[in-house]
Amino acid sequence: MKNDTDSQELKQQLKAHYLHQQLTSQQLEQLQGLTVKSNSQYVSAITAVAASAIFALGLYLFNFNSPDYTNLTRQIAYNHNSKMQMEVLTPTLNDVKGRLNRLGFNLVSSSKLDREKLHLIGGRYCNINGKIAAQMKFQHPDTKKVYTFYQAKFPADIIDNFEEVEVLIDGVKVRLWREKGLLMGLAF
């Protein structure tokens, strides 16, 4: 029993001793400074992590929500160089429209093609970036140079963010643009 009583008495003395202890004003200021410094470092660390996360998310969204222009232009250059036969041989766009009826979109006349200098030979189905597309051949009447023209439907968010591009791939100039809600491509 004496041990229990001694233990209780020691606890009481320690409690009384520490209840009467106080920090000096200098010690109190130092302690408060540490708290502010710690909070400041914590806020800085959180801000850095948040900024990094936002940057990474932006980079992810940019890379995966925009079309791969390089891949698109390579496929168009490849299709142009393949010189595939046209399924529909006709000089009128309306005839090509009527025959290529599984596109899921209507073929349109592009304002960027000079109808005086380019005459339609015909059209066919093709695939661009996993999407069904129309491929049409045009020929310049004087030079006999053949131009391959493409139209494809891509999601609106991709088309809206699409910028006009012109590149040279495997000796083929490829121009991409958006028009009338469609992705347009011209290879020459």
CA-CA-CA-CA torsion for 111, 116, 117, 123, nearest 10 degrees? 70
pLDDT of residue 12: 76
Last residue of a domain, one of 14, 44, 63: 63
pLDDT of residue 69: 74
SS3 category, 174: strand
* Co-location of 87 and 10 in the same domain: no
Nearest to 175 by CA among 5, 122, 113, 184: 184
Range of the domain at 125: 66-187
> How far is residue 5's CA from residue 140's CA, in Å, rounded to a whole number?
111
* Co-location of 80 and 49 in the same domain: no
Lowest mean pLDDT: which of 4-8, 37-41, 173-177? 37-41
Range ranked top by mean pLDDT from 7-16, 52-61, 137-146:
137-146
* Co-location of 153 and 93 in the same domain: yes
19 falls in which pLDDT band (50, 70, 90)? Answer: low
* Co-location of 70 and 58 in the same domain: no
Write the single-letter amino acid at 183.
Answer: L
* Overall domain count for the chain: 2
Token look-up 């290879």 returns: 187
Biggest CA-to-CA distance, the chain: 119
Nearest to 148 by CA among 186, 107, 108: 186
Phi, psi torsion values for 100, nearest 5 degrees: -100, 70
pLDDT tens per residue, range 95-129: 999 999 999 999 999 999 987 889 999 999 998 88
**How many contiguous H segments (helices) and E segments (strands) does the chain have?**
5, 7
Of residues 20 and 72, more confidence is placed in 72
Contact 107, 96 (CB under 8 A): yes
The beta-carbon contacts of 2-7 under 8 Å, at least 24 apart in sequence, are none
Mean pLDDT of the chain: 80
Write the single-letter amino acid at 176.
Answer: L
pLDDT tens per residue, range 134-156: 999 999 999 999 999 999 987 66
pLDDT tens per residue, range 64-86: 444 557 888 999 999 899 989 99
Last residue of a domain, one of 44, 63, 82: 63
Sheet containing strand 88-89, strands side by side = 88-89, 119-128, 131-139, 146-152, 182-187, 172-179, 165-169
CATH code of the domain in which 122 resides? 3.30.200
pLDDT of residue 18: 67
